[in-house]
Amino acid sequence: QLKLVQSGGGSVAAGGSLTLSCTASGHIFKRYCMAWFRKAPGKPREGVASVGNDGDIAYVSAVKGRFTISQDNTKAQLFLHMNNLKPEDTAMYYCAAHRELWSDYCSSALASEGYAIANWGPGTQVTVGS
């Protein structure tokens, strides 16, 4: 079973920066993709960014230019560097991973609240003050 452990997050003033980390362990698929999702109170879960097994990256428009998704060389660690944070970025952020069944599997999942993704981290809170 694939296990995802998250770290990072916290509270920051608007315009500030935070970095989230996620480490995958256990049964890691030969080809897999990873992504970040977030859920604010009263709102549905939404995709943030994804990275495919071959390194292809996708962002939702709300974070493009402000957030950067990356992996370490082993591809077992996933990062989300968040700059110029806004109060509307306040949410619980979740790391997610899935076997990459086709090339844009995780990027496609960004638009569908992540229901096609099987493996999730526990979540970490990001709070941005106005």
Write the pLDDT tens digit of every residue in 101-116.
888 999 999 998 999 9
| Residues in CB range of 33: below 8 A, 6 or more apart | 50, 51, 52, 53, 97, 98, 100, 105, 106, 107
Instruction: State yes or no: pLDDT of 12 exceeds 90.
Output: yes
Q: Check residue 28 and give its pLDDT.
A: 79
Q: Check residue 107 and give its pLDDT.
A: 92
Q: Check residue 5 and give its pLDDT.
A: 97
- Phi/psi at 68 (5° precision): -130, 125
Q: Check residue 10 and give its pLDDT.
A: 97
Describe the strand order of the beta sheet including 2-8 as a list of residue ranges.
2-8, 18-26, 77-82, 67-71
Instruction: State yes or no: pLDDT of 73 exceeds 90.
Output: no
Kind and range of the H or E element at 122?
none
Exposure of 2 in the CB half-sphere (CA atoms within 13 A): 23
Q: Check residue 36 and give its pLDDT.
A: 98
Q: Check residue 58 and give its pLDDT.
A: 97
Instruction: State yes or no: pLDDT of 121 exceeds 90.
Output: yes
Give Dmax over CA atoms of the chain in angstroms.
Answer: 43
Q: Check residue 41 and give its pLDDT.
A: 93
CB 35 within 8 A of CB 60: no
Instruction: Give the mean pLDDT of the chain.
Output: 95
Calpha distance 23→38 (Å, rounded)? 17
- Over residues 88-108, the mean pLDDT reads 94
- Over residues 36-45, the mean pLDDT reads 96
